[in-house]
Amino acid sequence: MRPRRSGSVPGTPSVSVAFPGAVRRGSGCRFVCELLKHVLHQRNQLPLPYEQLTYFCQRAAQDGDGIAKPPSMGSSKCQQVLMELEGLFQHLEVMFSLTLVPRVLFLLGGNVMNPKELYELNLEGICEGSAEESLQTAPCVRQLFHSLFVADIFSELKALPVTGTLILVQGHRDCGVEWFRPKLNYKVPTRGRKLTVRLSCDGDPHLSASPPQHTAPEWEDYIWFQAPVTLKGFSE
């Protein structure tokens, strides 16, 4: 039994990415983090791509470097957002170490029941293998972003004002995670703009690789967990 679907509205945009083999353990968390960075920048919640923002904030903290930087790069708001994101990424690593994670949601604007935009990363079709027998994570990330580029999913969207972003992660109800808050009986909103990114593994994964997540038993024991922080966007 698969986790209950969200009841996507017909015509809802989606992007499917099939990797040519099993991925390395831990890749799922990396896909989530990289996609979140990308969405936040593309939807005007970060004034620069995450890596550039981190670089400029670090340089802005150094006195007398002689490099001209946008004023906001050294602001406390910039530092706060980066600290919150880094903390979120660390907690996501813990979550992925405790349970299979079939789906992750990014909710931009509005509230948890009625967001303005919703981005779902579906990991049900992912197979994980050992480091020697599986695909390296970096090429898989490049394949993911190439698929997003080809799909051109952001170009026609209206500018989104600076807002808050909520993160929800699906995992086993008894996984023991402490930071994320369980959201029993939470139903994925069907209103607002939604994009679904589905990841899967093709080919003939080695026998030692884990099976696709949708073959795991007792999916009914999986619930949504919400990150207890709201990521506040900011502009220059």
105-130 per-position pLDDT tens digit: 999 999 999 999 999 999 999 998 88
Is residue 164 helix, strand or coil?
strand
Is residue 72 one of the residues assigned to a domain?
Answer: no
- Whats the size of the chain, residue-wise? 236
Is residue 127 one of the residues assigned to a domain?
Answer: yes
pLDDT in tens, the chain (236 residues): 333 333 344 456 899 999 999 999 999 999 999 999 999 999 999 999 999 988 888 777 665 455 555 544 446 788 889 999 999 999 999 999 999 999 999 999 999 999 999 999 999 999 988 888 899 999 999 999 999 999 998 888 888 999 999 999 999 999 999 999 999 999 999 888 999 999 999 865 544 445 455 455 567 899 999 999 999 998 87
pTM as predicted: 0.85
- pLDDT value at residue 11: 55
- pLDDT value at residue 95: 97
The whole-chain average pLDDT of the chain stands at 85
Q: Nearest CA to 139 among 221, 64, 34, 219?
A: 34
Residue-range definition of the domain harbouring residue 173: 14-44+87-232
- 175 close to 68: Cβ distance less than 8 angstroms: no
165-206 per-position pLDDT tens digit: 999 999 999 999 999 999 999 999 988 899 999 999 986 554
Q: How many domains is the chain partitioned into structurally?
A: 1
Q: What percent of the chain has pLDDT over 70?
A: 81
Is residue 19 one of the residues assigned to a domain?
Answer: yes
How many CB atoms lie under 10 A from the CB of residue 92? 23
Is residue 122 one of the residues assigned to a domain?
Answer: yes
Is residue 151 one of the residues assigned to a domain?
Answer: yes
Is residue 52 one of the residues assigned to a domain?
Answer: no
CATH code for the domain in which residue 206 is found: 3.30.900.20
Is residue 50 one of the residues assigned to a domain?
Answer: no
Burial class (CB in 10 A: 0-12, 13-18, 19+), 28: buried
Is residue 163 one of the residues assigned to a domain?
Answer: yes
Q: Nearest CA to 227 among 7, 32, 13?
A: 32
